Amino acid sequence: MAEFTMELNEDQKQVRDWIHGFAADVIRPAAAEWDEREETPWPVIQEAAKVGIYSLDFYAQQFFDPTGLGIPMAMEELFWGDAGIALSIVGTGLAAIGVLANGTEEQIGTWIPQMYGTPDDVKVAAFCSSEPDAGSDVGAMRTRAVYDQATDEWVLNGTKTWATNGGIANVHIVVAVVDPELGTKGHASFIVPPGTPGLSQGQKFKKHGIRASHTAEVVLEDVRIPGSCLLGGKEKLDERLARAREKAKAGGGERVKNAAMATFEASRPAVGAMAVGTARAAYEVALDYAKTRTQFGRPIIDNQGVAFQLADMRTQIDAARLLVWRASWMAIAGKPFTAAEGSMSKLYASEVAKKVTAQAVQILGGNGFTREYPVERMHRDAAIYTIFEGTSEIQRLVIARTLSGMPIR
C-alpha cells in the first residue's frame, strides 16, 4: 500500500504533462465550436483514441495507480481543457466502472473493450440509472427486469433519463428493479449489448452547460438480453437477495449496497477532480486578465477587492484538490470512508467550482459575460457538478448520516 503523498512521482508528472498538452492543443481550441453545436465531438474523441487517452489501457493504468492519484490527475487536466468535451471523452468510464465494480472477470474482459471500440472506429458507452421520477431517490426506480427461466433471458422495461451517451452508446449499462419488495436492495445492473431490439433513444436534452456531451433518455420496451448479461451473475444476485430478505424478516438493518450506489461511490472523487479542473481553468483566466486589464491607470489586480478574491479562489481550489486526493488514496488503499470522505470531496470541489467560476466572470466584468471569453462557458459548465452523481444536498445527507449514524431525512 502506497503512503499518502502530495507529490507526484516522475512517471505521474510525465503523464500529467502529456494529458495537459492534449487538453491545451486539441480540446481547448475546439471547445467553443462544440459548445455551440451541442453535438458529440467525435473527431476529438477519435484524436484522444489515436494518442491513447481514450482507451481501456489508459484508464486501467490510471485506475490501478497504487497511489490512487492517476484518475483524479487525469480528470483535472482533461476538464481544465473543457468540461463538455472532456465529459464526452470520459463519459464511457462511468459505465466501465459499473462493470468493474459489479461484473465478473469474463464480463469485464468481454464488454469493456466494446465500450471503447478502436481508434479507427471509436465507440462510447452509457450508464443508465436515473429516471424521470427517480433521481436522488433511487428507491423510486420503476424500470423492471424480469427473469424468463425458460429462455435464460432478462426482460427489461422502463425509461431512463439524464444518461450520458444514452441512445448513441454501443453498450448500455442499465440499473433495474428485480425485487420491488426489497427497495434499493432489490436493484441489479444489466449489460444491454449493441443492437439489442427494444432499446431506443428518447428525448435528447438541450442543456445549460456541458453542451458537447450527449445527454438523453433511454427507452426500454421488452428488451431481452441473455442471462449472462446480469452483472455479477444470477447466483451472486440470488445470494444477495436472500440475505436481504432474511434481514427484512428479522427486522435487521444491515446495509446492502445496490449496484448504482457502488458505482457512484467509486466515481465521486473523480467528479470532484473534474470540478477542480474547471475551477482551476477559470481561476487562471481571471488571474491573467487581472494582471493585464488596466483601470484608473493600473492593473485591476492592484485593487485588494480583486486580489483577495483571487487569493481565496486559489486557496479553495487547492483545498478541494487535497480532499479529492485524500479520498482517491483511501479508496485505492482499501480504507473505509468512515466520515464519507468520498462525498466530502465531491461536495466541496463542486461547490468550489460554482463559486470560483462565478468570481471569474465577475473579475472579467462585461467581458466575462460574453462568449468571447471562456469563463462564461466554464461558469455554465460548473453548474452540473453540484447536480449529477449525487446533488450537493444528497452529499450532505450522506455525510451527516455517516457521521451521526442516524437516519437523517
Q: How many Cα atoms within 13 Å fall on the side-chain side of residue 192?
A: 32
Three cell numbers written together for 336: 473505509
Three cell numbers written together for 327: 479520498
Q: How many Cα atoms within 13 Å fall on the side-chain side of residue 178?
A: 23
Contact 204, 216 (CB under 8 A): yes
Closest C-alpha to 287, from 271, 299, 270, 296:
299
Closest C-alpha to 357, from 369, 340, 345, 344:
369
Amino acid identity for residue 244 in this structure? A
| Backbone dihedral angles phi then psi of residue 311, each to the nearest 5 degrees | -65, -45
Question: What is the spatial distance between Cα 83 and Cα 277, in angstroms, rounded to a whole number?
Answer: 8
Q: Any idea which residues carry the catalytic annotation? A: 389
Question: What is the spatial distance between Cα 256 and Cα 185, in angstroms, rounded to a whole number?
Answer: 6
To which residue does cell 444477495 refer? 240
To which residue does cell 459499473 refer? 98
